[in-house]
Structure 1
Amino acid sequence: MLLSRKLAALPTGRLTKWAVLLLWIAIVVLAVPLAGKLSDVVEGRSTAELPRGAQSTKVEELTPRFAGGQMAPGIVAYVRDSGITAADRARAEADRRALAPVAEGRIAPAVPSRDGRALMLTIPLPDGDDLSENAGRIRDRVERDAPPGLRVRLTGPAGSALDVGDAFEKIDKLLLVITMVLVTAVLLITYRSPLLWLLPLVNAAISLQVTSAAVYLLAEHAGLYVADGMSAILNALVFGITTDYALLLLARYREELRRHADRHEAMRVALRRAAAPVIASAATVCLGLLCLLAAKMGFNYALGPIGAIGVLGGLVVVMSLLPALLVIFGRWIFWPRIPRHGDAPPAGGGVWDRVGRRVAARPRLVWIAGTAVLAGLAAGALGISTGLDREHFLTTTPASAVGERLLNAHYPGDRTRPIQVVSDSPVTAALRNVPGVADVGTPQPSTDGRLTRTDVVLTAPPDNEAARDAVKRIRAAVPHANVGAGAAGELDLDEAQAHDRRVVIPLVLGVVLLILMVLLRALVAPLLIIATVVASYFAALGGGWLLFRYAFGFPALDTQLALMGFLFMVALGVDYNLFLVSRVREEVALSDHRTGTLRALGLTGGVISSAGVVLASTFGVLAVMPITMMVQIGVLVALGVLLDTFLVRSVIVPALALDTGRRFWWPGSLSRTPSAHARPREVAHH
């Protein structure tokens, strides 16, 4: 308690508030240049997301031991339905010679198809950070002034990397602009003040800069993996959660300004009272994200610490810089609705007071009906299909997928993404006898002569279930070898995602439950809250699937969506219930259970609803991205947060609290006897 008082005094002291402001100015000056370098450390290798410990990852790790190192070839398809002409062959040969400076080693002549309608030119490229740039040069060359009637497409790993690079080009800045516009609109509507909205927005922007700088330093000097698209999720998370915490603190500060003549004292009290739910919220989200350290997927594993850094950045800014700015600016920052000392608190009759009275009239019927609504939406999840193919990785069909389809129509098997088998003894004979294998290449020895790598072309495309079955048969036929790339990598990704769901989801639930139990000093309330949040997740999943299938036209959900959606919705959805129930506990300690519950709903309803709209907006912005996975995460989390904000938190949880009565706090002290300090408060009854 003494420590919390001392910390609260720093940004609210008459002199120390200026010291805090100067400190943050110095931090921002240092952070902004570093934050601008974050894009420089984004991992550009096409295989950077492979699961830890998987065979496909081991194959990738062994690749440098072979001549040419880590390669991601660009494969150019030349297709003419009426048959390849002499001019077409001359064009492919001219492209081969022109692209020699870009390639890593010699480019072999184009290989004709057996039906005479296609040519396949393979350009060896290093799988590094400049892969997309080199692939762009190839595409510009081969597609420029192509002979009439000749379809030319770049595919293979380099083509896929280029598609992803094009999709993310300049999107981060656009997302940030749209996010700021939406957050500004919500804050203006909430406060109806020409000035106050700037403070949460400025604090969110500073949090993002500090977080980005920290992530850059860890990536540059500690090997932290930063994937394409991670900055978009970070933007949404940091902006949303920082604004949420700012709104909660502002609401408490406004209350205390009516009770204290000195704004410094008002902020000290507000900061102490807001600290418990805000810090508990940050701990919930941080620890929930850190559960991803148990994940196998590279993207999932890295998102944990990066997301936790973002949440901590938002927490520190809101609990130090924002209070200092508010007391520096004074009461006038709330103009035109300036809270004065001695002003009466808002009279009952607001929208959330009316909601509370209606819920209190028949609480059991209300929570049963609300649960039925969630169950109805969750029923939409029964027809879910998971696993997007390459053609639907982007919201528009990738050019590399078109090229892959063209080659598969004219060459046996899938030549664009062969499987690689690395072994310490010959395996060619065993591989040729495996059903589903179309072709076995010539073994390539490693530079030290201890290993061989054999390329295997399957009869089925890598995204096909038949290809995954063939990989399993290959691994059974050569158990001493490591089988990776192509369909083997797809299989390992699917198995890693399944592992992460089995391990991370129970961990997140356990962590969130423990934090709620510690904060609320009860067992029943945390269990009920967890149950409602999980129910809202399945409701959002079902409703989201209906939107994706019939409004967006997506044939399936990305395999990462179930885990990512659960993580963000549970960790963030618990926040609003935590803000409400912690205030209920505070009010119940001063009153009877019914009065305290309804008063807490009336006091927190407006600020929590605004916070929910802000968070839903920041994640909803991801829907403008050209990456299907990002669109699905954005829509699912936005839908889940809105359900949590306007149905679960505002209707179902208060109804459960009222229906269970003081048993809601079992086995804590509030479940047994009213507080000795309880004092009656008038609450209008329905």
Structure 2
Amino acid sequence: MSPQHTGTGRLAPTTPGAGSEPPTTRVPRWLRVTLPATLILIWLAGAAVGGPFFGRIDEVSSNDRTAYLPTTAEATQVQELLPGFTEGDAIPAVIVFTAPAGLTDGDVAAIDGGLAAAQSLDAVDGTVSPAIVSDDGDAAQAFVPLSGSADIAEATTELRDTLTRAAPGDVQVAITGPAGFASDLTGAFAGIDGLLLGVALTAVLVILVIVYRSLLLPLTVLATSLFALCVALLTIWQLANTGVLLLSGQTQGILFILVIGAATDYALLYVARYRDELVHTPDRWTATRRALRGAFEPILASGSTVIAGLLCLLLSDLRSNSTLGPVAAIGIAFAMLAALTLLPAILLALGRAAFWPRIPRHDPGAAPAGAADRSLWGRVAGAVRTRPRTVWVTTAAVLALGCLGITQLQASGVPQSELVLGSSEARTGQDRLAEHFPAGSGSPVHVVAPEAELQEAADVLLEDDGIAAVSVTADTPSSTAPVTTDGIGAFGPPGTPAPEPVVSDGAVLLQGTLTDAADSAAAEETIRDLRDTYATALPGVLVGGESATDLDTNDASIRDRTLIVPVVLAVILLILMLLLRAVLAPVLLTLTTVLSFGTAMGVAGVVFDHVLGFPGADPAVPLFGFVFLVALGIDYNIFLMTRVREESLVHGTREGVLRGLRLTGGIITSAGLVLAATFTALAVIPVLFLAQIAFIVAFGVLLDTFVVRSLLVPALSYDVGRAIWWPSRLARGRA
């Protein structure tokens, strides 16, 4: 009695009925009904509770960049000391007034009237300055402190309306500075709950309808993704509300995309197994058991690999990175759980009707799954069989050529004014400000120095070419340096007596107005020079402010990238070794993933610089791109190679490679299309960082699924042969 292949990677005797599944009558009917119904009800209840939290994310999220810096960062230390010198945690709004023909005395009087009216606004926390007219008389600026606890978008809108009503008709009003840029960023993330989710779900639905040529099945898969997202969001919201996690707009967007994309990918893998089993068995309970048994290991391994890669972000110094790790990991965990519980329960309840109108019929005489055929993937497998070395060498060479574009990727940071794509009032206001005042007005350098070293610390600022003016937070007027209405005492030339300062814990607060825009590379260089000078001459002095926050954020991102990338590679390599019970295969798979990532980054560098004209990239862009592409790329490696190993146990390695390619080719490309579409949806949020991540991951995933997993990996594995499983028994030809 010789064995034959059942189509699922198992051996079954040829005698009819021998070795078949136990009769379904052994499974109580009440259990077959109660178990899926209970699972569906549990998920339905979780989604019902978690759904309303989509509109409440802003209650527990923050886009304050200083909050994401490590406590050891100098900018963070200065930020923590500021309340000792100023009242509250106000965010300064810089108001710029301009007129085509210049400002008249009447214009200035009207502006001052509007500023006086703004003083009574609920969101204003402190003294509003009067209008300060530029030397050329064509513009004026004013400073309005807004409460840190206020809704910054609403506060700036109300302030703008108040000032615009009071200003003459030809006077243009623009709000810039920290409050202006924060408002722009908040507005950019406004569509993240509705627009982003709607675009992503629509794209996935269209792809699923094309793939399945059915309506009920795509809706079932989509419901699985949505339920997973609702329950994940409920969990994350509670953790953020208690302070365990820190959420931001970009974290929220990435969470939505990851959960929908991953849950759909896992669903595609399970549905393919389930459909195959419905052809080979008449009973849907038995088909469900077999499909779960075949899909459980690759889905669990795939999800665990992504989670492990994401949790490596916990090593980051930046909380914007370190908190994304557990947030996204929670989302992937629920995506995996939904694909292994909710989806099987729904499909078990629906049976073959879920596939209407292409209902899979029970056909005992059907050809074993993975057998040679003339389908697209059958022809691809034939090309791999005929010329494996030519295929993988050529593919690797083309990918290596694409890596050369990495030199075009400028990932050293971008100005805050460039974070929001499209029109930006804050950016416009900053440009107008720079035309008539020192470009750094409104976003000063904060220097905290011991009281005894006030004059020396001020002299360092005054002597720096990057500083236009120096002042100190003061209580009372000084005979040599009058204190203005906003409590700031101005310094004269180096060596002149200092104003009387506010002293907090033996320290004073100096403020330096930058000659360059506060978010520019030149301003960051000024901060670096000041810190170097103070470290030598006055070691106790700390330098902070908006420019210092930018500098510390970029430095921390570069440090994170250098540390986390090799750790992610090591973790994923270890997981692959455990999963495939081999060493050589995981090493080769990891190298192909790195090559694919390098190509994606190279193409992105060329597109960003020469096609889209982006001003550069945040240092975190390569890190996020690496974590997502490597983790998700390994996903497809796992889908392919677990099936190849399963088939190799029965048919040998080379035939197993071809059968695995035929069986998973359609699944992997469909999964890649879904994930690419969901990440592309991030581009609807007009934020530079998300647009760049959208391109890198979408392009990289398509490259992975259509080139690397379809040609490079199968051809390389076929060429190496059974040695690819070294040192396992499979490498010695023992199944």
State the TM-score, normalizing by the size of structure 1: 0.93
* Deviation at residue 164 of structure 1 after TM alignment: 1.0
Instruction: Pick from 358, 377, 390 the counterpart of residue 352 of structure 1.
Output: 377
Question: Contact between 1:44 and 1:129, CA under 8 Å: does it hold in 2?
Answer: no
Larger Rg: 2
What amino acid does structure 1 have at the position aligned with 2:145? Answer: P
Q: Partner residue of 1:3?
A: none
Q: Partner residue of 1:463?
A: 519
Question: Contact between 2:46 and 2:227, CA under 8 Å: does it hold in 1?
Answer: no
Cα separation, 2, equivalents of 1:412 and 1:625: 32
1:573 aligns with 2:633: yes
Question: Contact between 2:676 and 2:702, CA under 8 Å: does it hold in 1?
Answer: yes
What amino acid does structure 2 have at the position aligned with 1:282? Answer: G
1:605 aligns with 2:677: no
Question: Contact between 1:529 and 1:577, CA under 8 Å: does it hold in 2?
Answer: yes
Instruction: Pick from 72, 86, 100 the counterpart of residue 119 of structure 2.
Output: 100
Write out per-residue CA displacement over residues 33-76 of structure 1, whole angstroms, 9 at most, x where no aligned residue.
34442232121546333344211111222233333122211111
Q: Partner residue of 1:452?
A: 508
* Deviation at residue 413 of structure 1 after TM alignment: 4.8
Q: Partner residue of 2:591?
A: 531
Residues 266 and 284 (structure 1), Cα distance of their counterparts in 2 relative to 1, 3 Å cut: same
1:421 aligns with 2:447: yes
Cα separation, 2, equivalents of 1:553 and 1:419: 30
1:60 aligns with 2:41: no
* Deviation at residue 460 of structure 1 after TM alignment: 2.4
Q: In terms of mean alpha carbon deviation, does 327-336 or 205-214 score higher?
A: 327-336
Q: Partner residue of 2:228?
A: 207
Cα separation, 2, equivalents of 1:392 and 1:166: 14
Cα separation, 2, equivalents of 1:141 and 1:538: 51
Residues 638 and 144 (structure 1), Cα distance of their counterparts in 2 relative to 1, 3 Å cut: farther
* Deviation at residue 87 of structure 1 after TM alignment: 2.2
Q: In terms of mean alpha carbon deviation, does 648-657 or 331-340 score higher?
A: 331-340
Question: Contact between 2:652 and 2:733, CA under 8 Å: does it hold in 1?
Answer: no
Write out per-residue CA displacement over residues 613-647 of structure 1, whole angstroms, 9 at most, x where no aligned residue.
00000001112221111111101100000000000
Instruction: Pick from 549, 552, 560 the counterpart of residue 620 of structure 2.
Output: 560
Alignment of 1:351-430 (within 5 A): 351-386=376-411, 387-425=413-451, 426=454, 427-430=457-460
Q: Partner residue of 1:680?
A: none
Cα separation, 2, equivalents of 1:157 and 1:522: 54
1:25 aligns with 2:47: no
Alignment of 1:490-501 (within 5 A): 490-501=550-561
* Deviation at residue 307 of structure 1 after TM alignment: 0.3
Q: In terms of mean alpha carbon deviation, does 33-42 or 370-379 score higher?
A: 33-42
Residues 241 and 298 (structure 1), Cα distance of their counterparts in 2 relative to 1, 3 Å cut: same
Write out per-residue CA displacement over residues 585-631 of structure 1, whole angstroms, 9 at most, x where no aligned residue.
01000111111110010011111111110000000111222111111
Instruction: Pick from 463, 474, 477 the counterpart of residue 433 of structure 1.
Output: 463
Question: Contact between 2:240 and 2:247, CA under 8 Å: does it hold in 1?
Answer: yes
SS at match of 1:165: helix
Q: Partner residue of 1:261?
A: 282
1:342 aligns with 2:363: yes
Q: In terms of mean alpha carbon deviation, does 118-127 or 612-621 score higher?
A: 118-127
Q: Partner residue of 1:682?
A: none
* Deviation at residue 511 of structure 1 after TM alignment: 1.0
Unaligned runs of 5+ residues in structure 1 are 1-8, 676-686
* Deviation at residue 574 of structure 1 after TM alignment: 0.9
Cα separation, 2, equivalents of 1:369 and 1:612: 22
Q: RMSD of the TM alignment (CA)?
A: 2.1
Cα separation, 1, equivalents of 2:720 and 2:447: 61
* Deviation at residue 470 of structure 1 after TM alignment: 1.9
Cα separation, 1, equivalents of 2:31 and 2:569: 36
Question: Contact between 2:78 and 2:448, CA under 8 Å: does it hold in 1?
Answer: yes
Question: Contact between 2:421 and 2:688, CA under 8 Å: does it hold in 1?
Answer: yes
Q: In terms of mean alpha carbon deviation, does 405-414 or 138-147 score higher?
A: 138-147
* Deviation at residue 189 of structure 1 after TM alignment: 0.8
Cα separation, 1, equivalents of 2:207 and 2:144: 51
* Deviation at residue 334 of structure 1 after TM alignment: 1.5
* Deviation at residue 149 of structure 1 after TM alignment: 4.3
* Deviation at residue 447 of structure 1 after TM alignment: 7.6
Residues 12 and 318 (structure 1), Cα distance of their counterparts in 2 relative to 1, 3 Å cut: farther
Q: Partner residue of 2:292?
A: 271
Write out per-residue CA displacement over residues 386-421 of structure 1, whole angstroms, 9 at most, x where no aligned residue.
332234222214211121122222223511211111
Question: Contact between 2:43 and 2:227, CA under 8 Å: does it hold in 1?
Answer: no
Cα separation, 2, equivalents of 1:12 and 1:371: 52
* Deviation at residue 148 of structure 1 after TM alignment: 4.7
Write out per-residue CA displacement over residues 488-516 of structure 1, whole angstroms, 9 at most, x where no aligned residue.
11110110110110111111111111111
Q: In terms of mean alpha carbon deviation, does 79-88 or 151-160 score higher?
A: 79-88
Cα separation, 2, equivalents of 1:196 and 1:587: 28
1:590 aligns with 2:646: no
Q: Partner residue of 2:683?
A: 623
Instruction: Pick from 19, 37, 41 the counterpart of residue 56 of structure 2.
Output: 37
What amino acid does structure 2 have at the position aligned with 1:419? Answer: V
Cα separation, 1, equivalents of 2:64 and 2:550: 16
What amino acid does structure 1 have at the position aligned with 2:669? Answer: S
Q: Moved runs in structure 1, 4+ residues, more than 6 A?
A: 9-12
Q: Partner residue of 2:88?
A: 69
Residues 385 and 45 (structure 1), Cα distance of their counterparts in 2 relative to 1, 3 Å cut: closer
Seq. identity, %? 40
Unaligned runs of 5+ residues in structure 2 are 1-26, 475-500
* Deviation at residue 141 of structure 1 after TM alignment: 2.4
Q: In terms of mean alpha carbon deviation, does 652-661 or 94-103 score higher?
A: 94-103
SS at match of 2:727: coil
Question: Contact between 2:592 and 2:708, CA under 8 Å: does it hold in 1?
Answer: yes
* Deviation at residue 529 of structure 1 after TM alignment: 0.9
Residues 574 and 69 (structure 1), Cα distance of their counterparts in 2 relative to 1, 3 Å cut: same
Cα separation, 2, equivalents of 1:46 and 1:104: 21
Question: Contact between 2:301 and 2:579, CA under 8 Å: does it hold in 1?
Answer: yes
What amino acid does structure 2 have at the position aligned with 1:545? Answer: G
Question: Contact between 2:118 and 2:163, CA under 8 Å: does it hold in 1?
Answer: no
Cα separation, 1, equivalents of 2:344 and 2:472: 68
Residues 93 and 203 (structure 1), Cα distance of their counterparts in 2 relative to 1, 3 Å cut: same
What amino acid does structure 1 have at the position aligned with 2:374? Answer: G
What amino acid does structure 1 have at the position aligned with 2:691? Answer: V
What amino acid does structure 2 have at the position aligned with 1:440? Answer: V
1:114 aligns with 2:135: yes
Cα separation, 1, equivalents of 2:282 and 2:119: 77
* Deviation at residue 81 of structure 1 after TM alignment: 5.5
Write out per-residue CA displacement over residues 6-26 of structure 1, whole angstroms, 9 at most, x where no aligned residue.
xxx999844322222222233
